[in-house]
Amino acid sequence: MARTALVTGGTRGIGEAISKALKAEGYTVAATYAGNDEKAAAFTEATGIKTYKWNAADYDASKEGIASVEADLGPIDVVVANAGITRDAPFHKMTPDQWKEVIDTNLTGVFNTVHPVWPGMRERGFGRVVVISSVNGQKGQFAQANYAATKAGDLGFVRSLAQEGASKGITVNAVCPGYIATEMVMAVPEKVRESIIGMIPTGRLGEPEEIARCVTFLVSDDAAFINGSTISANGGQFFS
Ligand code: CAA
């Protein structure tokens, strides 16, 4: 029977590419989104992938949403915690709200996404968890004290949970994308974006599909011995 995969933030950007790639690999996919109904409807129309609306920052909503995915599609075998936001500002201008929104979505959101599926994975003796972190969690980034803190936090989460899941057939890994051609990166002022591209040895932004291929590999049976790892896909911008 096809395995079921949940992708948070799975209707746009990197998440959209991951949802499509998993479907192409034969998974039954559920993609979540937080706000953009129009885009989600167009995504389902184009891909046939079912979407679910909840805010990853809300534990109860995540738990309820995951229960309805499992009622519709069966137990979740694969979870890709991808949903993330930016609220960039130099630290002296960063507001407590900008800090909290990013922590709640990008870091607590990962807890909220993985915690409800974890007991089922343990019981069934199989699971694949992939957290989408960022090059900026590895190296830091001007105006992203909030975002970089969450993305570095993701790596600690992954390395800890990998140890807990190992004996139960669960792997937990991270992918650290560099700058990828998505709305999030296109929102960076053009001059700044051009200067960032100048720092990428490959000389271009990454494509969402290049991240999706890392994910499809990590969740495959072939990757069973890869646990607690980080795949960096950043065009040589940073080595860790
Ligand atoms: N390093 C050093 N100094 C920098 C800098 C940098 N990277 N970027 C800006 N500065 C400087 C500016 O030159 C300016 O200096 P002066 O005051 O001396 O002129 C100062 O910092 C402040 O600049 P602004 O007043 O223009 O700052 P602002 O409040 O308008 O904020 C900004 C602008 C938010 C920093 C904007 O430049 C920006 O968005 N930068 C990009 C941040 C970034 O890379 N975000 C990543 C988004 S994509 C993503 O997150 C996906 C992923 O995982 C990779």
Task: Give domain status of residue 148, yes or no.
Answer: yes
Give the active site residues.
147
Q: What is the pLDDT of residue 223?
A: 98
Indicate whether residue 102 lines ligand 1 (CB < 6 A): no
Q: What average pLDDT does range 197-223 have in this prediction?
A: 97
Task: Give domain status of residue 185, yes or no.
Answer: yes
Q: What is the pLDDT of residue 15?
A: 98
Q: Find the Cα–Cα–Cα–Cα dihedral 219, 169, 135, 110, rounded to 10°.
A: 100
Task: Give domain status of residue 178, yes or no.
Answer: yes
**pLDDT tens-digit series, residues 72-101:** 999 999 999 999 999 999 999 999 999 999
Residue 172 near residue 162 (C-beta atoms within 8 A): yes
Which pTM value belongs to this model? 0.96
Among 146, 51, 44, 47, smallest CA distance to 95 is for 146
Q: Which domain holds residue 18?
A: 4-228
Indicate whether residue 98 lines ligand 1 (CB < 6 A): no
Rounded Cα distance between 100 and 150, Å, is 11
Mutation test of ligand 1: which of 12, 192, 197 has the most ligand atoms closer than 8 Å to its C-beta?
192
β-pairing, 230-233 with 78-81?
Answer: unpaired
Q: What is the pLDDT of residue 155?
A: 98
% of the chain surpassing 70 pLDDT: 100
Rounded Cα distance between 153 and 108, Å, is 10
Overall number of domains in the chain: 1
Task: Give domain status of residue 238, yes or no.
Answer: no
Rounded Cα distance between 191 and 224, Å, is 42
Considering the chain, what is the average pLDDT of its residues?
97
Which residue is closest in CA terms to ligand 1's atom 22?
A: 90
Q: Closest ligand 1 atom, CA of 188? A: 39
Ligand 1 centroid – CA 113 distance (Å): 30
Task: Give domain status of residue 235, yes or no.
Answer: no
Q: What average pLDDT does range 124-131 have in this prediction?
A: 98
**pLDDT tens-digit series, residues 114-125:** 999 999 999 999
Rounded Cα distance between 218 and 229, Å, is 10
Rg, C-alpha atoms of the chain? 17
Rounded Cα distance between 12 and 107, Å, is 19
**pLDDT tens-digit series, residues 8-60:** 999 999 999 999 999 999 999 999 999 989 999 999 999 999 999 999 999 99
Mutation test of ligand 1: which of 88, 135, 190 has the most ligand atoms closer than 8 Å to its C-beta?
88
Q: What is the pLDDT of residue 80?
A: 98
Task: Give domain status of residue 209, yes or no.
Answer: yes
**pLDDT tens-digit series, residues 210-220:** 999 999 999 99
Residue with the two structure tokens 């990008």: 106
pLDDT band at 240 (very low <50, low <70, confident <90, very high): confident
pLDDT band at 1 (very low <50, low <70, confident <90, very high): confident
β-pairing, 28-33 with 230-233?
Answer: unpaired
Task: Give domain status of residue 236, yes or no.
Answer: no
Indicate whether residue 181 lines ligand 1 (CB < 6 A): no
Which residue is closest in CA terms to ligand 1's atom 10?
A: 142
Residue 20 structure tokens: 């499509």
Task: Give domain status of residue 203, yes or no.
Answer: yes
pLDDT at 182 > cutoff 90: yes
Which segments within 109-200 are labelled E, that is strand? 127-132, 170-177
Q: Closest ligand 1 atom, CA of 147? A: 50
Supply the DSSP string of 17-60, one letter for each residue: HHHHHHHHTT-EEEEEESS-HHHHHHHHHHH--EEEE--TT-HH
CATH code, domain with 196: 3.40.50.720
